[in-house]
Structure 1
Amino acid sequence: MPPSSQNTRYSPALTNSPQTVTTTRNYQFGPCVSVSQPAVISGTATLVSTGSRTCLDLLKSNAVTLTITWNTGQTSMLSGNSVVNVVGAVNQTEVTGTIASGLFAGDTFLMNVTGAATDITLCTLGLGTVSSLYDTITLEITSFV
């Protein structure tokens, strides 16, 4: 199984000028290990949105809501906030929050998203566009029970 990942496509490609863009973000989680839910070994999620965007938006922190469908058919709705940092040529996003409903409800989560920042940096300087991004993810759900 490939590592957990996020594959994002922008149509049309993002530029440093505002335009209406459809964003499609596909998540693949796995392999997963859960002591409390050993049948959970993988999960998926998809987000599609349309709105006015520029590549500068990729550097903004924001609220995040994501519903993961696990291989068991159960779902978890994550609700949190992201913090974005570009360190050298790496784009790092940390999302923290709680599982608002479904499997693992009430637990906290930490999701780290890491990918190349080259296209983002060039786009913000007006030297290119961003049509897609591929990032690796680590997701940790912590129960305090």
Structure 2
Amino acid sequence: MAQWLLVAMLTVAALNVSVPPAHAAASTTCTGTSAVTYSPPLTNTPQTVSYSESDTYSSCTSTDPTLTAGTSSTNITLPGASCVGGGVFPPSAYTISWNNGQSSTMSMTFTDVIVAGIETVTGVGTVTSGQFTGGTATIVWVYTVPNPLLCLSTGITGQNGTVAAQILVVP
């Protein structure tokens, strides 16, 4: 009987041995708004255009409790841009500045699809520096396509839409 008691005590003791936890995955998922401006406005005539994009991630859920929001700003020059394309390509680097003082810079490739008057731009890539380095990133922008008749007159000055980002680092 004492032998069984010893085995039971050793079993309980073994169950109470703490094992260090495995490193958990780090992630953030954010939603917000995106505003794009073109100067001068896009028309059917190719021209050099200043492209400015301002993204505001107003709602983030993250494994980092200090990360609740973020912003991103892009300003580039597009030679040969027009309503019919040519030159309108998003940059391959994209940086989000987080409310906790950190940032994430991503190297991304983009696809742009227009279906039934809705433009969906999807960026997929890797976080190359900052918070979540080494993680995979997917960002999706959705815009309503402006009236194409504006290309024949005053031009398209900008687009407003939504943006959603997901970043995941798996240890």
Please, what TM-score do these two structures have when normalized by structure 1? 0.86
1:132 and 2:158 correspond: yes
1:40 aligns with 2:67: yes
Q: TM-score, normalised by structure 2?
A: 0.73
> Identity over the aligned pairs, expressed in percent?
26
What is the CA-CA distance between 1:56 and the residue it aligns to?
A: 3.0
Closer, same or farther: CA 60–51 of 1 in aligned 2, 3 Å: closer
Aligned length: 140
Q: Which runs of 5+ in 1 are unaligned?
A: none
Residues in 1 aligned to 2:46 and 2:40: alpha-carbon distance in whole angstroms: 11
Q: Deviations over 1:66-97 (max 9, x none)?
A: 11110011111011111111110111111100
Higher radius of gyration, 1 or 2: 2
Structure 1 stretch displaced more, 19-28 or 100-109: 19-28
2:109–2:123 Cα contact (<8 Å) kept: yes
Q: In structure 2, list runs of 5 or more residues that go unmatched.
A: 1-30
Q: Distance in 2 between matches of 1:61 and 1:50?
A: 10
Q: Following the alignment from structure 1 to structure 2, what is the Cα–Cα distance between the partners of residues 76 and 57? A: 30
Match of 1:78 in 2: 106
Change (3 A) 1:27 1:75: same
User: How many Å separate the matches in 2 of 1:25 and 1:111?
Assistant: 14
Contact 1:27 1:45 in 2 (8 A): yes
Q: Is the 1:61–1:81 contact (alpha carbons within 8 Å) kept by the matching residues of 2?
A: no
